[in-house]
Structure 1
Amino acid sequence: MIFSILDILGLIAFAISGALAGIEKKLDFFGVFVIAMVTSIGGGTLRDLLIGNTPVFWLLNLQTFYIVTAATILSIIFRQYLSFLRTSLFLFDTIGIGIFTIIGIEKGLSINFSPIVCILLGTVTACFGGVARDILCNEIPVIFRKEIYATACLMGGFMFFGLKLLHVNDDVIYVGTAGTIILIRILAVRYNWSFPKIEIK
């Protein structure tokens, strides 16, 4: 039950993240909707293609379309309450990567992939939608900048399997993993944690 709820929450978080990015770029409704949709389904689409799970998930269930559409419309209607767009975008994007990492890991486990592959699959699921969003918005994808992003997903993945080894309840693992990723991302931005840039002297 909690896994289905997390899936829906992840879609909503990424849809809002994409919609806010489109609004910030002053796109029209169609443009905002496209960015929201790509952000929501991009990672899951790449994941399904990588593992040969076709047709991809959102083609088989219109629930994804309805959720993203509703989240986009609400983001536009209540945009005045999200006046600090950069902060709101960061928050919803962070929630999204925390949840989608778990979804990708579970997808890998369902077809008996090794833990390392599952963690990488979770990271792809979490990050690729944001990469597509940033490219469409003419931004350097955040995953390629100095901010801790994919690293938080990887650390959350190791947390996931660490708790599995301890035979912790699955619901606790889901919440603990997502919470770890979100906390790492927030702390990294708050305290400017980053990897060193590669520069030409």
Structure 2
Amino acid sequence: MKNFVQPGETVSVAAPYDVLSGHGFQIGGLFAVAVFDALSGALVEGAREGVFDLAKTSAQAWAVGDEIYWDNSNKVASNVPGTARLRIGVALAIAANPSAIGRVLLIPSPGARVVAGQATTVAASDTIVTGLSLLTSVVATLDSDPIDDPEWVTASIGDQAGTPAAGSFLLKTWKNTSGSDPTPAAATTFGKKVNWIAYGY
């Protein structure tokens, strides 16, 4: 194939910050482990596949198979998802709390995915499970024309670490406080259909 460039197990990119050999780095949706030291902006070779012992959040206990995310703010691996954390692989060994290193099997990210569905409201705030591992955004709309109760809907992805759980969002329906008072209040009429689209990994 004339358009083939390279296998892709390792890639050469400009280091996003000073990085040491064996340490992870992230550029957008790309995560890799540096093959050699590099200063910020310099070319660095990064391994995208394999099993690596990586710096981890010390105050975490890992079990084999835990999904592992990259905390780019602290430059460590973590088993706690978050809206700004990229999924990088799974834990391949038990790691105690506390411990500085965790063993990670890198699984290259497939890129962002889009899923959609329809929910029927049960309460003023319903937790909707999307099937994704981590959400980055959600859009929701009433399936039918708005009425006083409910008049509109919102969707919140929260911290994706329990409020709500990763891959879920809070679907909330609202009404006017009264006919002359447009202040939002939690809906009290349920059984309404809501269409939603979620983006994430």
Would you say same fold, with TM above 0.5?
A: no
* Max Rg structure: 2
Q: Which has the higher strand share?
A: 2
Instruction: Provide TM-score, normalisation by structure 1.
Output: 0.26
Q: Which has the higher helix share?
A: 1
> RCO higher in 1 or 2 (8 Å CA, sep ≥ 6)?
1
